[in-house]
Amino acid sequence: MEPERKRSGSTLKKGRKRRLIPSKVVGAAEATRSHWDLEEKQQPIAKKARLSTVLFAENCEVTHGQLCELLKYAVLGKSSFPKPSWCQLFHQNHLKNVVVFILQGLSQLHFYKFYLEFGFLRKAFKHKFRMPPPSSDFLADIIGLQKKQIIGNLPKAMEGSLPFASSKVSINLQKDPIIQKYGFKKVGLTRCLLTKEEMKTYHFPLQGFLDCENFVPTKCNGSVTDNSPLFGLDCEMCLTSKGRELTRISLVAEGGGCVMDELVKPDNKIVDYLTSFSGITKKILNPVTTKLKDVQRRLKILLPPDAVLVGHSLDLDLRALKMIHPYVIDTSLLYVREQGRRFKLKFLAKAILGKDIQCPDRLGHDATEDARTTLELARYFLKYGPKKIAELNLEALFSYQESQEPRNTAEGVQRLNTSVLECLDSVGQKLLFLTQEADASALSSSKNCQTIKCLSNKEVLEQARVEIPLFPFSIVQFSFEPFSPNLTQEMNKRIKIKWTEMSTVYAGPFNKNCNLSALKRLFKSFGPVQLMTLVLETHQPHLCIQYEVLEAAQLAIESLDGVLVEGSCIKVQRPVTELTLDCDTLVNELEQDSENRGTIYLSGVSETFKEHLLQHCSIFLGLEAMILPKDLKSGKQKGYCFLRFKTFGSAQRALNILTGKDWKLRGRHALTPRHLHAWLRGLARESRLPGVRVIPPSSEQEAWQMLNVDHPKIAAWHWGRKIEKLYHNLCPGTLCLILLPGTKSTHGSLSGLGLMGIKDEEESTIPQTCVCESAHHLPGVIS
C-alpha cells in the first residue's frame, strides 16, 4: 500500500482501539548525536582554555539568550551551569578574564560593507556568528537582566516543569508549519505516515535505490489503517573501518514494553566505540555474538504485516539496520518546524510530555526510553491534534528551553533567571562597564557593576586601557552615529548587488555552432547556477552565468580563463562595475579570513558523498565538520559542500586528494564563512545596469577631503586599529567578544554580528572527525 493513497485524514471511530502487541521489558542505551562530551574526554590535560571551532546554530544565528548562557558559563563553569547549547568552551577554569567590546550602531551589514577596513577583526577572530536585531536594551539581554517573556499555554504534563507562565498570548496559528501541513482538525495514523516521496526526500532506504541494494525488506506489506500497531525503534552505532555500524537495537511496542533489546557485534573492525554517546565499551561488546543478520531475521518475525515504525530521525536507524520498511512516522518530521529544521527528541520530551530524558549524568542515553518517548509523542499528536500542538508555540518555547535542562525544577528556574552580575557576585567579583554618558541601560544602575561614564569614545578607549586589567569581567561600549535610513537602505541594496556581481561571470567568445548543452554542463560543474543566459549582443556568442555561491564563480574563472573550450580560447571574467573594481583584493582577503583558512569548497558531490567520506575518514586527518546545504523547499541535498579542517595544512592535503583522479571533484579554498553564506542566501538577488559613477570635477576635491577625514571607511579602519591595540594589551587566556548588535527602527532592522576568540588560544593538533552534530543527520554533517 502507498501511504499517500490511503490517507483519509479520518480519526479513530468511537470505541475502537488500535491493536497492541504483547511485550517483554529489557533495558538498553542509545547513541546521542552530540559529540561534545566525547571530544572533551579525548583531550589531554590542557593548559589553556579554548573554544570549539564549529558553531552549531543551524542558521548560524546566535540569540541574545544563547550569548548570555556562554557568558554565565565562562564565569562559573559546568559545576554551576549546563554547557552552552551552541558552542563549546573547553577548560573554562583556565580562563583568565572576559572582555566584551560592543560597537553600538554597527551591524553585520557594516562589517561586510567595510570588510577590507576591518582587517584585524576578520583575521584575529576565527569564530563569527550572526545575531538577531537588538531589542530596546541589548546589554540587558546579553547579561540576563530582563525577565523571561510569557509564551502561551503549556500542556498539563509541563505545568510546574519549566519556568514559564501559562497565561495566553496571541499566536497566529495560521502561519504555524504544523497547521500548514496538517490543518486544524485531528488526524488519523495514516495521515501521519511519511509518503514515498517524503521518504525519498529525507533519504530513507527504499527498494530500487542503488545505495540500498543489499538492504533487507521487513516483509511488512499489509494494508495499514488507523488501527495498525505502532512500534518505537531506536538504534546505536559505532564507527568501524567501513563507516557506521549497528551496535544496539531497541524495539518498543505500543503498550510500552521492550520487545527486542540486543547488543550487536559489527562485521568490521571497530575504530571508535563512541562510548560517551552510547555507553558501549569494548568490554561490553566482547562477549556478544549477535550479528546484524540475526537482528534482521528477528525483526522480520516480530513485526506484523501492518506494523508502523516510529522513531526520531528514523532514516538513520533503518540505514544502520540495513532494512527497508514502508510505513514510518518520524517524530522529528511530525512536529514540523520552519525551513526544514527539526526539534531534538530531548526538547520535545520536555515540552510535550514534561519528562526529562538523555540526562547528562548518565554514560550514554537509554535507547528503550528514547524509543518509548517517540511512541508517546506520536500518540499525543494523534490524541490532541495539530491545533493543540500549534497552541503550545514550540518555536518560542525552544528559544528558552536549553538542551541540558537542570533536572530539579526550582534549581532550573533559579539558573535560567540568574544574570551574569549575580554569577560574578556569587564568586565575590564585580563587572566593569565603560560607556558614554548619553547611553542608557539597565546595566549601568545595577548592583555589583562598576560603571564609568565617559564623554566620548576616545575617553572610553583611554579608560579601557587602565581599568580592564583590574576586573575579571569587562564590558566596553563604543557608540557610533547610525547612518540615515536612506543611506542604510542604499548601502544594503548596493551590497546585495555587489555580491551578486561578484558571483557572476561572463564567458566567451564561443563559436556560433558551439554545443550549448555541453557548455551549460561545464559551467554547472563548478557549483549551483542561479541564472544562465546567452549573450548575443557581441560579434560572437558569450554566456552570462550567475552562481549561487561566490566560490563557484571564482572556481570557474580560475579553471577556464584562457582555456580552449569548444574550439575557442575563451576569457572568463566578472562584470566590471564600480562595485567589482576591488573584487580581486576582496576575494584574496576573504580567502585569508581566519574562519576560512581551514575550510574547502567542493562541487559535484553526490548524495552518498558523506557516507563515502566517513568510510575513508582515516586519510582526512583533522576533519571537523561537513556542511551539506539543502534546498529549503524540496529538502534535497545540493551538489556542493564545505569541509572544515583543524588546520590549513590538513585542508590543503584533503583538497589535493578530493580534486585528484580518484574522487574527481572540483574545489578550492572557501571564501564565504558559514554565517555569511547563510546571510547571502537570505538576501534577495539584485542586479542592475547603473553605469559607472563618476564624481563631477567640481566635487573631486570635496570628495577627496571627505575620504581623508570622516568617511565611514576611515572610521572603520581607525576603530579597528584601536581595538587591535586594546586586544594586544589583554592578558593571555582572556575570552574576548566583539559585538556589532545590529539596528532596529521603524525604517527596518539589520542583523548583528559577533566575533569571539581567546587571546593566544592554543591550536590543538589532535585530529578529530565528526565533531558537529545535527538533530537529524550524521554527526559531523550540517544541513
CATH number, residue 746: 3.40.720
Residues 6+ apart with CB under 8 A from 600: 642, 643, 645, 651, 654, 655, 658, 667, 668, 669, 670
Q: pLDDT band at 774, cuts 50/70/90?
A: very low
Identify whether residues 140 and 55 lie together within a single domain: yes
Mode of pairing for the β-strands spanning 542-547 and 230-240: unpaired
What's the pLDDT tens digit per position in 747-772? Answer: 678 889 999 999 886 443 333 333 33
Are residue 336 and residue 276 in the same domain, yes or no?
yes
698 in a domain, yes or no?
A: no
| CA 155 – CA 153 distance, rounded (Å) | 7
Question: What DSSP state is assigned to residue 350?
Answer: I
Q: How far from 577 is each of 220, 250, 257, 553, 687, CA to CA, in Å? A: 62, 62, 69, 16, 12
Lowest-pLDDT range of 54-63, 479-488, 716-725: 54-63
**3-class DSSP state for residue 666?**
strand
Domain of 198, CATH number, reads 3.30.420.10
- 591 and 669 Cβ atoms separated by less than 8 Å: yes
The percentage of the chain sitting over the pLDDT mark of 90, rounded to a whole number, equals 38
Q: Are 491 and 544 contained in the same domain?
A: no
CA–chain centroid gap for 200, Å, is 23
Q: What is the pTM of this model?
A: 0.58
- 233 plus 299 within the same structural domain: yes
- Cα separation, 779 vs 749, whole angstroms: 34
Single out the residue of 18, 8, 389 nearest to residue 190, CA to CA: 8
What are 268's three cell numbers? 568490521
Q: What average pLDDT does range 178-188 have in this prediction? A: 92
Q: Is residue 774 part of a domain?
A: no
Poorest-confidence range of 136-140, 430-434, 560-564, 657-661? Answer: 136-140
In a domain, 12, yes or no: no
CB distance 473 to 432 below 8 Å: yes
Do 558 and 432 reside in the same domain of the chain? no
Residue 555 is predicted with a pLDDT of 97
Residue 156: pLDDT above 70? Answer: no
| Domain identity same for 426 and 550 | no
Residues 397 and 537 occupy one common structural domain: no
Residue among 83, 107, 108, 77 nearest 95 (CA)? 77
Q: Give the residue carrying C-alpha cell 503498550.
A: 255
Whether residue 278 is found in the same domain as residue 385: yes
The more confidently predicted of residues 166 and 245 is 245
Query: What is the residue range of 621's domain?
Result: 597-670
Contact 483, 559 (CB under 8 A): no
Q: How many CA atoms lie within 13 A of 166 on its CB side?
A: 10
**Alpha helices (runs of H) in 392-484, residue ranges in sequence order:** 394-398, 409-417, 420-426, 457-467
Interhelix angle 292-302/314-321, rounded to 10 degrees, is 120
Give the Cβ contact number of residue 147 at 10 Å: 7
Task: Give CA–CA dist 194/617, Å, rounded.
Answer: 32
Looking at the structure, do residues 555 and 620 belong to the same domain, yes or no? no
Candidate from 254-268, 332-346, 621-635 with smallest mean pLDDT: 621-635
Note whether 742 and 655 are same-domain residues. Answer: no
Given a cut of 60, whether residue 148 has pLDDT beyond it is: no
Output DSSP code: residue 339.
G
Reading the block at residue 161, the C-alpha cell is: 516543569
Residue 712 preceded by cis peptide, ω within 30: no
Q: Indicate whether 36 belongs to any domain.
A: no
> Tell me: the pLDDT tens digits for 508-565?
999 888 899 999 999 999 999 999 999 988 889 999 999 999 999 999 999 999 999 9
User: Is the residue at 167 inside a domain?
Assistant: no
Please check whether residue 549 lies inside any domain of the structure. yes
Side-chain-side CA neighbours of residue 513 (13 Å):
1
For residue 735, give the DSSP letter: E
Cβ-based neighbours of 383, under 8 Å, separated by 6 or more: none
Q: What angle do CA 332, 338, 339 make, to 5 degrees?
A: 100
Neighbours of 410 (CB within 10 A): 9
User: In terms of domains, do 300 and 425 share one?
Assistant: no
Highest mean pLDDT among 187-196, 402-411, 445-454: 187-196
Q: Amino acid identity of 525?
A: S
Cα 530 to the center of its chain, rounded Å: 23
Pairing of strands 89-90, 97-104: unpaired
DSSP of 301-317, one letter per residue? HHS-TT-EEEESSHHHH
Of the residues 371, 403, 435, the one at which a domain ends: 403
Degrees, nearest 5: CA angle 67-443-740: 45
Quick one: pLDDT at residue 551?
95
Split into its structural domains, the chain has a count of 4
Q: Are 502 and 574 in contact (CB under 8 A)?
A: yes
**Domain identity same for 133 and 180:** no
What's the rounded Cα separation, in Å, for the pair 651 and 644? Answer: 7
User: Residue 21 — pLDDT band, cuts 50, 70, 90?
Assistant: low
Least confident range of 25-29, 200-204, 588-592, 777-781: 25-29
Q: What is the CATH number of the domain that holds 533?
A: 3.30.70.330
Write down the pLDDT at residue 692.
39
Q: Please indicate, yes or no, if residue 22 is contained in any of the structural domains.
A: no
If you average pLDDT over residues 385-397, what whole number do you get?
Answer: 88
Q: Does residue 26 lie in a domain region?
A: no
- How far is Cα 331 from Cα 314, in angstroms, rounded to an integer? 9
Task: Please report, rounded to a whole number, the percentage of residues in the chain having pLDDT higher than 70.
Answer: 77
